[in-house]
Amino acid sequence: MKKIEHLGIAVKNLDASNDLFEKLLGVAPYKEEEVASEGVKTSFFMNGPNKIELLESTKEDGPIAKFLEKKGEGIHHVAFEVDDILVEIARLKNEGFIVLNEEPKKGADNKLVAFVHPKTSNGVLVELCQEAPPQPSPKERE
Ligand code: ZN
């Protein structure tokens, strides 16, 4: 694990929370992105070298909707940057953690991500993230 990459915060209404966090941090979100496969709409703020991700559910039964129902708004996950996500997944499994994604998936902000079940990490949902390699252009893929 290299460093904390970002904190993920679950919110009910992304627009309202963007305004709130803009007031709190004194800076506007630098990006908004929907990850349809995860049922979330996200926004990202920089605070000095640190990053904060807000997440709103776009699906009634999505993971963020379920979290809000159970716990309400608040810190949802801590994301750690890793050099090689496959190596980290194997290492953590070997250490007895339950890794929810054997295969890393495409997350927001051009990252490959995998999650560690909070029940094996003191109630903290841990996200591993690795900068995704650049997508080959359609021409290169042929
Ligand atoms: Zn995240």
How do residues 84-115 score in pLDDT, each as one tens digit? 999 999 999 999 999 999 899 988 888 999 99
Residues 128, 113 contacting (CB under 8 angstroms): yes
CA of 94 to the centre of ligand 1 (A): 23
pTM for the structure as a whole: 0.90
Ion ligand 1, residue ranges at CB < 5 A: 8, 53, 79, 127
* Of 32-36, 96-100, 132-136, minimum mean pLDDT range: 132-136
Q: How confident is the model at residue 136 (pLDDT cuts 50, 70, 90)?
A: low
Nearest to 56 by CA among 42, 68, 70, 76: 42
Strands 50-57 and 3-10: parallel
The residues, any chain, with a CB within 8 Å of residue 93's CB and separated by 6 or more, are: 99
Whole-number Å distance, alpha carbon 139 to ligand 1 midpoint, is 31
